[in-house]
C-alpha cells in the first residue's frame, strides 16, 4: 500500500478537528494526525537545550569525565536511551560513599564507583540479548529497554550501582512481558483445542478426519517442542494430500451413481408411459372390434394391435437391456466406493505412521510405549528404549540434497527392520531421530543390539547416483524404571544420545 502524502493527511486532520469540535491546539492536531497516518510521530530532539545542559555538567572526577563523554556522544547521536543511561549514571555517582567515610558522597568526590568485571558484564549483556527475541517485537518499550541495558553493559567500565538499577527496571518490565507471553500461548492453545474438538464433533461420519484432529490435539498439548510440531506438520501434509485425492474420487463416484439412478428413474418413467399407451391402444382396438360387423373391418384393427404389441415388446427388450447395464454399472461403482472408503480408512491410520519411512510416528509411538510399559510392569520384565540420531545428517543434506537425506532415513529404517526382532518397535521421533522400543531387554542387551545395528550399517551402503553413501548413528539406551513414564525414559535416552555425540559419534551410551 502506497504511503499517503503529508498534505492529504494534513487536510483530513483539519476536517477531523472541525467534525469532532476540538480546539485547534498543537497537541490535538498532532494526535489526530498520528491517528490518520497510522503511525506515531517522532518528537524532535532538543539539540539546543541539551547542548546547554552539556556545558554545565560536572567533569572533574574520572567517573564524571567518562559520563560526560557518554552524554556528549548521546547528544550528538540524538539517542534518548543513551541520554537516560548517562543521567542515571550521574545520579548514582552521588550515592557512592567516599573511602573511610559514612556520609553519602557528593558529586565532587574523587572516589571512583565500583564497576562490574568486564567478563561478567558481557555475560549479562548476552543474557539480555538472548531473552529479547523470545519476547517478540510487539512491546517497543521492552525492546528499547533491552537494547539500552545491553549497550550500557558493553560500554566499560559499567558501575555496579547503575547496572543494578537498570537490571532491576528491566526485570520488573520482563516479569510483565513473560506473563503476557504465557497468557497468549495458553489462550492460543485453548483456541486450537476448541477448533480440533469441533472438527471431531462435526465429522462423526468422516473417520478419515478423526485421525488428523486427534494428531493435532496431541501435538498442541504441552510440553511443545519444535521437533514435535515439525514432525506433525510433515505427516499431516502427506495425509491431507492422500485424503483429499481419495475424497475427490469418492465424490466423483457418488456423482456417477446419482447420474445412473436418475437414468434408471427416467427409464422406468418411459416404460410406464409406453405401458399406458399400449393399454390405451388395446382398449381402443377392443372397442373397435366390438363395433365391427364384417371381417374387413376387423383386419385393420388386428394389424394395429400386432404393431403395438411388437413395439411394446421391442421397448421392453431395450429397457431390460438398459436396466441390466445400469445394474452392472451400479455394482461396479458400489465396489469402487467401498474401495475408496477403505483407502480413506487407510489414510486415517497413516496418522499414526510416518509417511516417508513407514515407521510409527510420535502418536503411534506414544500408544505403543504405553502398551509396552503396561505389559512390562504386569509381567515383571525389563523394557529398554533406544534413541538413534543420524551422524552428520545436515552435511549430507547440504552436500547431496534433501532427496539423499530422505533416502538415508529410509535406508536406516529398512536395515533396522531387518536386524531387529519381530517384537521390537521402530518409530521416527522427529527429523533424523528414531526410537526403538525393545521389550524383554536389559540395558546391556539394548547396547549390544544397537552395536549390532551399527555394524550392519557399516557393511551396507546405499547408492546416491553413482556414489556409495555410508551412514552412521549415535544412540542412547535407557531401561525404564518403576517410577518413570514414557516421557521420562525417552528424555534419559536422549541425554545419553547427546553424550554419545560428544564422545565422537557412531557410539552407543547407556543412560
Model confidence at 101, pLDDT cuts 50, 70, 90, reads very low
* Rounded mean pLDDT, 215-225: 64
Report domain extents, the chain: 6-37, 50-97+112-182, 362-510
φ, ψ of residue 211 to 5 degrees: the values are: -60, -40
Higher model confidence: residue 8 or residue 313?
8
- What is the dihedral sign for C-alpha 203, 207, 208, 209? positive
30 exposed, middle or buried (CB, 10 Å; 0-12, 13-18, 19+)? middle
| CA dihedral (303, 305, 309, 315) positive or negative | positive
Maximum Cα interatomic distance, the chain, rounded to a whole number of Å: 155
- What's the whole-model pTM score? 0.39
DSSP string for residues in 165-205: HHHHHHHHHHHHHHHHHHHHHHHHHHHHHHHHHHHHHHTSS
* Torsion sign across C-alpha atoms 163, 165, 166, 168: positive
pLDDT at 114: 76
> Is the model's pLDDT at 99 over the cut of 50?
no
**CA-CA distance, 381 to 373, in Å (whole number)?**
10
* pLDDT of 203 over the 60 cut: no
Closest CA to 472 of 420, 408, 421: 408
The arithmetic mean of pLDDT across residues 138-165, rounded, is 80
Q: 231 burial class (0-12, 13-18, 19+ CB within 10 angstroms)?
A: buried
Tens of pLDDT along 398-427? 888 888 888 899 999 999 999 998 889 999
Proportion of the chain above pLDDT 70, given as a percent: 68
How far apart are alpha carbons 354 and 362 in whole angstroms? 9
> Contact, 464 vs 400, CB < 8 A?
yes
Q: Is residue 241 predicted with pLDDT exceeding 70?
A: no
DSSP string of 472-485, one letter each residue: -EEEEEEEPPTT--
The catalytic residue among 245, 432, 433, 467 is 432
Q: Among the listed ranges 135-149, 240-254, 489-503, which one has the minimum average pLDDT value?
A: 240-254
- Is it the case that residue 319 has pLDDT exceeding 50? yes
Residue 146, pLDDT above cutoff 50: yes
Query: What mean pLDDT is predicted for residues 10-14?
Result: 83
Confidence at residue 73, expressed as pLDDT on a 0 to 100 scale: 84
- Note if the bond before 470 is cis, omega within 30 degrees: no
Predicted pLDDT at 477: 96
Phi, psi of 312 (to 5 degrees): -65, -40
Higher pLDDT among residues 360 and 292, named by residue? 360
Name the strand (E) or helix (H) holding 387. Answer: strand 383-390
Of 59-63, 249-253, 422-426, minimum mean pLDDT range: 249-253
Decide if pLDDT at 97 tops 60: no
Cα–Cα distance, 163 to 153 (Å, whole number)? 7
Tell me the per-residue pLDDT of 419-475, one tens digit each, with 9 for 90 and over: 998 889 999 998 899 999 999 999 999 999 999 999 999 888 887 777 888 889 999
The predicted pLDDT at position 435 comes to 96
Q: Cα(311)–Cα(283) distance, rounded to whole angstroms?
A: 16
Of 160-164, 196-200, 202-206, the range with the lowest mean pLDDT is: 202-206
Q: Kindly tell me the burial class for residue 56, based on how many C-beta atoms sit within 10 Å of its own C-beta (0-12, 13-18, 19 or more).
A: exposed
Residue that wins the pLDDT comparison between 159 and 41: 159
Give 364's contacts (C-beta < 8 A, 6+ positions apart).
Answer: 352, 353, 427
- For the chain, count helices (H), then strands (E): 16, 7
Helices (H), 98-159: 118-134, 140-153
What is the model's pLDDT at position 121?
A: 85
Q: What is the pLDDT of residue 64?
A: 79
- For 362-510, which CATH class? alpha beta
On average, the pLDDT of the chain sits at 77
| Known active-site residue 432 | yes
Q: Which residues contact 197 (CB under 8 A, 6 or more apart)?
A: 213, 217
Amino acid at each position: 500500500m502506497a504511503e499517503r502524502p503529508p498534505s492529504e493527511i494534513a487536510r483530513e486532520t483539519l476536517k477531523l478537528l472541525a467534525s469532532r469540535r476540538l480546539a485547534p491546539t498543537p497537541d490535538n492536531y498532532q494526535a489526530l494526525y498520528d491517528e490518520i497516518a497510522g503511525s506515531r510521530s517522532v518528537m524532535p530532539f532538543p539539540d539546543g537545550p541539551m547542548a546547554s545542559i552539556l556545558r554545565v555538567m560536572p567533569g572533574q572526577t574520572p567517573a564524571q569525565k567518562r559520563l560526560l563523554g557518554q552524554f556528549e556522544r548521546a547528544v550528538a547521536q540524538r539517542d534518548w536511551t543513551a541520554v537516560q543511561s548517562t543521567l542515571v549514571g550521574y545520579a548514582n555517582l552521588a550515592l557512592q560513599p567516599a573511602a573511610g567515610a559514612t556520609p553519602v558522597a557528593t558529586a565532587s568526590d574523587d572516589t571512583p564507583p565500583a564497576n562490574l568485571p568486564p567478563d561478567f558484564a558481557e555475560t549479562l549483556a548476552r543474557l539480555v540479548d538472548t531473552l529479547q527475541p523470545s519476547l517478540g517485537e510487539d512491546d517497543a518499550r521492552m525492546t528499547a529497554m533491552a537494547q539500552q541495558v545491553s549497550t550500557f553493559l558493553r560500554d566499560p567500565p559499567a558501575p555496579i550501582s547503575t547496572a543494578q538499577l537498570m537490571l532491576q527496571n528491566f526485570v520488573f518490565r520482563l516479569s510483565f512481558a513473560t506473563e503476557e507471553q504465557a497468557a497468549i500461548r495458553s489462550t492460543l492453545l485453548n483456541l486450537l483445542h476448541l477448533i480440533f474438538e469441533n472438527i471431531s464433533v462435526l465429522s462423526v461420519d468422516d473417520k478419515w478426519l478423526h485421525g488428523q484432529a486427534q494428531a493435532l490435539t496431541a501435538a498442541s498439548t504441552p510440553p511443545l517442542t519444535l521437533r514435535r510440531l515439525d514432525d506433525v506438520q510433515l505427516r499431516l501434509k502427506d495425509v491431507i494430500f492422500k485424503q483429499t485425492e481419495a475424497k475427490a474420487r469418492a465424490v466423483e463416484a457418488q456423482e456417477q451413481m446419482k447420474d445412473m439412478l436418475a437414468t434408471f428413474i427416467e427409464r422406468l418413467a418411459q416404460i410406464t408411459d409406453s405401458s399406458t399407451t399400449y393399454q390405451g391402444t388395446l382398449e381402443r382396438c377392443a372397442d373397435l372390434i366390438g363395433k365391427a360387423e364384417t371381417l374387413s373391418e376387423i383386419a385393420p384393427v388386428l394389424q394395429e394391435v400386432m404393431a403395438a404389441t411388437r413395439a411394446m415388446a421391442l421397448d421392453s427388450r431395450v429397457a431390460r437391456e438398459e436396466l441390466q447395464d445400469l445394474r452392472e454399472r451400479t455394482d461396479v461403482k458400489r465396489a469402487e466406493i467401498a474401495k475408496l472408503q477403505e483407502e480413506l480408512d487407510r489414510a486415517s491410520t497413516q496418522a499414526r505412521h510416518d509417511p516417508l519411512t513407514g515407521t510409527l510416528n510420535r502418536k503411534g509411538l506414544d500408544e505403543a510405549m504405553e502398551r509396552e510399559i503396561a505389559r512390562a510392569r504386569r509381567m515383571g520384565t525389563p523394557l529398554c528404549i533406544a534413541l538413534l540420531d543420524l551422524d552428520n545428517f545436515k552435511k549430507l543434506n547440504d552436500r547431496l540434497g534433501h532427496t539423499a537425506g530422505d533416502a538415508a532415513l529410509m535406508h536406516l529404517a529398512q536395515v533396522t527392520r531387518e536386524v531387529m526382532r519381530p517384537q521390537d518397535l521402530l518409530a521416527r521421533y522427529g527429523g533424523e531421530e528414531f526410537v526403538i522400543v525393545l521389550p524383554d531387554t536389559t540395558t546391556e542387551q539394548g547396547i549390544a543390539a544397537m552395536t549390532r545395528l551399527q555394524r550392519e550399517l557399516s557393511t551396507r551402503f546405499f547408492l546416491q547416483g553413482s556414489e556409495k553413501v555410508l551412514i552412521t548413528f549415535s544412540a542412547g539406551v535407557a531401561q525404564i524404571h518403576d517410577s518413570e513414564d514414557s516421557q521420562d525414559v525417552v528424555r534419559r535416552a536422549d541425554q545419553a544420545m547427546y553424550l554419545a555425540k560428544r564422545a565422537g559419534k557412531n557410539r552407543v551410551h547407556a543412560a
